[in-house]
Structure 1
Amino acid sequence: MRHKPFALIALIALMLTLAGCLPPSDPSKTIPTLLVPAPQPAKRLVIVLPGRADGLPALRDSGMAAAIQGAWPDADVLFAELTLGYYMQGRAPERLHDEVVVPARQRGYREVWLAGASMGGMGVLLYDRLRPGEMDGLVLLAPYLGDRKLLREIGDAGGIAKWDAGPPQEVNDDTWQREIWRHIQKVSRDPAQSKRFWLAYGDKDRLRNAVPLLAPALPAEQVLVRDGGHTWTVWSPAIGEVLKQAEAKR
């Protein structure tokens, strides 16, 4: 993503900044991280990306680390404060790889998973689009997947399997949503790739309208719907369930 920043994300950023809702973020600096060590000798790592108004304190207090380590006691949890400023800069996936993933892999983990909520779920998809197949597992927690116009276009086409994305394009303001969905379509056609993805969301989530389009791209048993809305109180227990089910499938 080496092009101009996403206009829609920039607009959201401006609105949240004026409302005082954004965590401090300086994309000129290395992505801030917070490591929660595993209670047992660490063999795995789960990297967690924030929603649009979340920083490291919100991630720390979200219950995600306890839920992840309740399922996988041998997993370190690494919160990465990949906030809106990094996406607006236009190189979020590249920087996540260089500044967070590469140093983490140098620690010798057996597995590395990437999870994200809302905007962070979008970040998970952008990362996998940049480096497909690199992560051992990916968890989408009520991901933001674009505006209603594109969702309507995909729905009117008969779903992701029948949708014609058109020719591939470089990612910029005008194309990033379409390119995310192109990647989802590509994943849906490759069982080896789709089985790495898990989706969890609340039945009252404000972004749930995208789920009927996304869910068919993934194995049905890897889509979890739970009571609740767009909140960590849904996502944290859900990721614990996801990881327990993933372990049971091995």
Structure 2
Amino acid sequence: MRPTNAAPLPPAPGLATRRAWLATGALVLLPLAGCVPPIRPVQDRMDRVLDLAQPGARARTLLVLLPGAYDTPQDFIREGFVVAVRERQLPVDLLLLDAHTGYYTSQQIVDRLLNEVVRPAREQGYARIWLVGISLGGYGSLLFTREHADLIDGAFVMAAFLGRRDLPAAIGQAGGLRTWDGQLDGADAHDLALWRWLRERALSPGPQRPPLWIGYGDDDRFVASNRLIAATLPPAQVLVTDGGHAWAPWRRLWDRFLDLRAW
């Protein structure tokens, strides 16, 4: 049952109308900031855009999209991420979060996702929840999955930022996650905990739950750290395209992920 303070569900437009709305960023069902300053304060409730597969009802599956450091939900709209889902007529709802850097620097991102997004989504009846994060959003998706793996059904991270580069460099020099000893003097404690968790997953036998998918461009500035994770995953869960840290490669990766129906 939808909570009484939730925004009313909108009527569903036709595909042509929906595409026109998305092209202009007009499909904003909940308030969003109008600009993207270098540093923005956290809000009492993260701003968001909700796009439903069907009018007046919720789908069984929710994909939660987390943007990069200075991106917003409107960027997902402008770059065609929502249209790509709707053109395929996929029975999934999309929640685009304005999870900007303020939620990370204040170390609130995991608790905010838990209490404002994931738990309420379960209470509203979603049977499956996937996190989809780009760059810093990939970092947030992994942080949440590490702490609350039982509450989500999967995560897809693209061109993930994975903290300071000293740790990935040390892991690479050690031969990868499976041969790294889990130590690095002076490493950031949060980054170290995340990489140790990734190492534990890599060393654990059998399929890992929830499943982790990763995608990146072969010229991305975070390609080295992303490859460390990719080397520990089943090949089917690794998507690679040409290009760098930019929207065009991310959109190609998104299209491929949608076509695979991984959720």
- Give the shorter-chain TM-score range: 0.7 to 0.9
| 1:201-244 Cα distance to aligned partner (Å, 9 max, x none) | 11221211213311122111211111222122221231231233
Q: Distance in 2 between matches of 1:69 and 1:182?
A: 38
Structure 1: stretches of 5+ with no match in the other structure: 1-19, 168-172
Q: Distance in 2 between matches of 1:194 and 1:47?
A: 18
Q: For the structure 1 residues 37 and 24, does the alpha-carbon distance in structure 2 shift closer, same or farther, using more than 3 Å as the test?
A: farther
Q: Which amino acid aligns with 1:237?
A: R
Greater RCO, 1 or 2 (C-alpha within 8 Å, sep 6+) = 1
> Comparing 227-236 with 72-81, which one deviates more in the overlay?
227-236
Q: Which amino acid aligns with 1:214?
A: I
In structure 2, the partner of 1:119 is 136
| 1:13-42 Cα distance to aligned partner (Å, 9 max, x none) | xxxxxxx96467331421111101115862
In structure 1, the partner of 2:177 is 160
Query: Under a length normalisation based on structure 2, what TM-score does the superposition of the two structures give?
Result: 0.77
Of Structure 1 and Structure 2, which has the larger fraction of its residues in helix?
1
| 1:51-100 Cα distance to aligned partner (Å, 9 max, x none) | 00112222322322222344561101100111100111112101111011
Q: How many residues align?
A: 224
The runs of at least 4 consecutive aligned structure 1 residues that moved more than 4 Å come to none
Q: Distance in 1 between matches of 2:38 and 2:126?
A: 30
In structure 2, the partner of 1:15 is none
> Comparing 131-140 with 113-122, which one deviates more in the overlay?
131-140
Q: Distance in 2 between matches of 1:96 and 1:24?
A: 20
What SS is found at the alignment partner of 2:151?
Answer: coil
What SS is found at the alignment partner of 2:254?
Answer: helix
Q: Distance in 2 between matches of 1:224 and 1:65?
A: 20
| 1:142-186 Cα distance to aligned partner (Å, 9 max, x none) | 10012332112101111100111149xxxxx93111111111112
Matches within 5 A, 1:16-31: 22=37, 25-31=40-46
Query: Under a length normalisation based on structure 1, what TM-score does the superposition of the two structures give?
Result: 0.81
Determine what percentage of the aligned residue pairs are the same residue.
33
Q: Distance in 1 between matches of 2:231 and 2:150?
A: 19
Q: For the structure 1 residues 147 and 103, does the alpha-carbon distance in structure 2 shift closer, same or farther, using more than 3 Å as the test?
A: same
In structure 2, the partner of 1:236 is 251
Q: Which amino acid aligns with 1:182?
A: R
The answer (yes or no) to whether the contact 2:69–2:137 under 8 Å persists in 1 is: yes
Q: Distance in 2 between matches of 1:29 and 1:243?
A: 32
Instruction: Select which of 77, 88, 91 maps to 1:60.
Output: 77
In structure 1, the partner of 2:197 is 183
The answer (yes or no) to whether the contact 1:47–1:115 under 8 Å persists in 2 is: yes
In structure 1, the partner of 2:166 is 149
